[in-house]
Amino acid sequence: MEFPFDLAPVLGDRFCVVDQHLRPAGRPGGTVKREELEQQLRTVIDELGKASAKAQGLSTPVTSAARMESNRHVLYILRDTRCPRGAVLGFLKVGYKKLFLLERDGSHVEVEPLCVLDFYIHESQQRRGLGRELFREMLQRERVQPHKLAVDRPSEKLLGFLRKHFGLCDLIPQVNNFVIFEGFFSTRTAPARRPFPRPRPEEPIKPYSLSERHFLREEPEPPWPFNLGRGSPVRGSLRPFLVRRETPPGTPPGTPPGTETPPEPPPRRASSLGRVGR
Ligand code: ACO
């Protein structure tokens, strides 16, 4: 994927890591000003988001510069440094999300895993090992094992990819759009176990956790430092922003962390399900 400007000052090396601050990798120099580099980075992100949405048959991109700014996600961009101006090969977007997930025995737990939110390799470059290269770079930088990830509504290609490269094939069924695999809960300590309430016969099962692809309903996050009270754990690339978790209001004194009553599921809105299925 090529652009009408030099990608080196925008993206730097082969792997470029971008967070909500959307900082270009290089310094302005010569005739190129910082604002120009920032605008070029926004263009790259928007174009990648559009290409990924098209490849997945989504009506609206899940990834854009504006959405990056309002969420604490991390974008890993892979670049071909051999071309004169450098072409973009693909990207992977991850972020921590609060989810209600089911264990094998049907009990549900509230967790905040690193989630795979969007992943795309240019059509002309697929099945050459670039997706694996990018994914491994993310695992290494985020210091996470593949079976500890939650994946937001994976495509068949992504399921095949995870099976082939990471042996992830044994799914733990969920009632939301996230997919997790055997081993996800393996080292978690003292979970707050609750029997999962069965849906009433006349009601469909409601998704309990917001998917990245429910973004039209998602509240944008205020900029730093106003977002510090929201309590999202940030690790790996976002480690500098690590915040202390607060006990929720109304929790009786002495309640061990992680055993507080989970919040009510979000209210059902018929119009919120306007996503394009795969
Ligand atoms: N059909 C079936 N499986 C595929 C395909 C395909 N067209 N392309 C890749 N795979 C899987 C297969 O397991 C393949 O192994 P194989 O060739 O031996 O069958 C393996 O991925 C190849 O691994 P890589 O070359 O490392 O992966 P690649 O560079 O192709 O990147 C990716 C994988 C990102 C899924 C890419 O195929 C892609 O961009 N697909 C279109 C967009 C997409 O579906 N993204 C995931 C959306 S869901 C989400 O992001 C949460």
CA distance 47 to 45: 6
pLDDT of 278 higher than 60: no
Average of pLDDT values for 172-184?
A: 95
> Residue 81: its pLDDT value, please?
87
> Residue 84: its pLDDT value, please?
73
Q: Is residue 76 in contact with ligand 1, taking CB distance under 6 Å?
A: no
Q: What is the pLDDT of residue 233?
A: 46
Sheet holding 171-172, edge to edge: 15-18, 73-80, 87-96, 114-121, 150-152, 178-181, 171-172
Looking at residue 85, its pLDDT comes to: 80
> What pLDDT sits at residue 26?
75
Q: Can you tell me which atom of ligand 1 is nearest the CA of 154? A: 48
- Choose from 14-28, 58-72, 73-87, 195-209 the range with maximum mean pLDDT: 58-72
pLDDT on residue 188: 52
Q: What is the residue whose two structure tokens read 């205020």?
A: 222
How far does the centroid of ligand 1 lie from the alpha carbon of residue 270, in Å? 32
Judged by average pLDDT, the poorest of 40-49, 54-63, 134-143, 184-193 is 184-193
* Of 265 and 175, more confident: 175
| Ligand 1 centroid to residue 22 C-alpha, Å | 27
pLDDT of 260 > 90? The answer is no
**Band (83; pLDDT cuts 50, 70, 90):** confident
Q: Range with the lowest mean pLDDT among 69-78, 107-116, 192-201? A: 192-201
154 lines ligand 1 (CB under 6 A): yes
Overall average pLDDT of the 15-24 stretch: 95
Determine whether the shortest distance from the Cβ of 89 to ligand 1 is under 6 A.
no
Please give the Cα distance from 135 to 101 (Å, whole number).
23
Q: Is the pLDDT of residue 58 over 80?
A: yes
pLDDT at 255: 47
Q: Tokens 């919040």 sit at which residue?
A: 263
Between 28 and 41, whose confidence is greater?
A: 41
- The CB of 160 under 6 Å from ligand 1? The reply is yes
Query: Is pLDDT at 214 greater than 80 in this prediction?
Result: no
